[in-house]
Amino acid sequence: QRSYAQATERKKVEFEELKKKCEKSSREIDTQATKLQKLQDVVTTTKSQIAAHLQESEEQTQNLRDDKDHALQKLQKLRAQVSQAGATAHTHLVTLTCQCSATLKVLQQVVEKAQRILRLAEMCRRLETEEEKVLPFYPSSLAEWEQ
């Protein structure tokens, strides 16, 4: 009986130790489960933040692409307008140059004609008589008192 009691006592002590160990392990498991749950929550939150940031960045990228396309279209329109304005200016310049050249030719003819008239007037002045020099008008064109 004593041997049974000792064996039972040892088994009881072992049982108590195992029971304490079990409770300790149970608390450790609960602690680890809580930590694991917190980590899973952090992972889930982080994944949702990443997804939100990814979607936001894609939207921003798309907006930037749209803005870039719009700016390129404006640039092309402006380049076309500048090109057209340059062509128009060139056409006007050519027209103006032609008109200027024609005007210079006409003015040169007028100058030559004026020089010819001045030479003829000088020649006429040399050929005038003394009476014509003093009285440059025809006597019939003068009034009585002027004569």
* Among 19-33, 86-100, 117-131, the least confident range: 117-131
CA 116 to chain centre: 63
Under the banding of pLDDT at 50, 70 and 90, the label for residue 1 is confident
Structure tokens at 29: 């498991």
Q: Hey, is 142 helix, strand or coil? A: coil
**Six token digits for residue 106:** 């006409």
Average pLDDT over residues 113-142: 78
Mean pLDDT of 48-71: 97
What's this model's pTM, rounded to 2 decimal places?
A: 0.48
Residue carrying the six token digits 């008239």: 117
